[in-house]
Amino acid sequence: MAKVKDKFRDWNLFHKAIVTGMVAFGLSVLVKAYFAIDGAYELKEERIIPASTAAIWPWVTENLKRPNWQGEVIRVQGLSTDVGRRRLLFWQRQFENWRSSEVTTALVQERLFSVEQESDFDTRWLEVELTPLGPCETKVTMTEIIQPALFSDRFFFFRVREKRQQRLANSLPYLENWVLKSTPTCAP
């Protein structure tokens, strides 16, 4: 029996290492869970469009034009985009359809369009900012903050973050395409 004990002299150290690893893993899950309790996730995308802010602005704000370029939005139903006015948005992602209520929270003519969207699945804050870089060049910045309604969706948001980011990344080239098709060539 003495020889067996000699072979496992550091057995106590091995157990301590295993327990420490398990505690570290458990603590990391608890920290992640704590931050996911009331967590929201920010997505941001920028693009420089060779058009004036006056040419881009109607595409950003008008209800009939937004479904043409904004990813997953298939219809906007409402009369006005004034601050405080509500609209109904219809969404589609693959075979899943849902709707959300949208209210304009900030509106600065040809500079900023900010809305809050609430659905059964999440609450989103979308901000489209236009920064003129010249008479025929505008930087468009889309910032979206998504707060999933369910704790499990907030906790595992890292699984769908790339898809949500790709939706924003796809929206801006479509916006540029529609703006350039609908407006004459900009001359400085």
pLDDT digit string (tens) for 94-112? 899 999 999 999 999 999 9
- Mean pLDDT in residue range 72-90: 90
23-75: pLDDT as tens digits: 999 998 888 787 777 788 999 999 999 999 999 999 999 999 999 999 999 99
Give the whole-angstrom CA distance, residue 119 versus residue 100: 4
Tokens read off for 106: 């900030």
Query: Residue 132: which residues within 8 A CB-CB, separation 6 or more?
Result: 52, 53, 138
Q: Other CB atoms closer than 10 Å to residue 97's CB: what's the count?
A: 10
Residue 136 gets which letter from DSSP?
Answer: T
Give the whole-angstrom CA distance, residue 112 versus residue 132: 12
- With a pLDDT cut of 90, the percent of the chain lying above it is 62
Name which of 88, 57, 73 is nearest 178 in CA terms: 57
Give the whole-angstrom CA distance, residue 84 versus residue 86: 7
- Mean pLDDT in residue range 146-167: 88
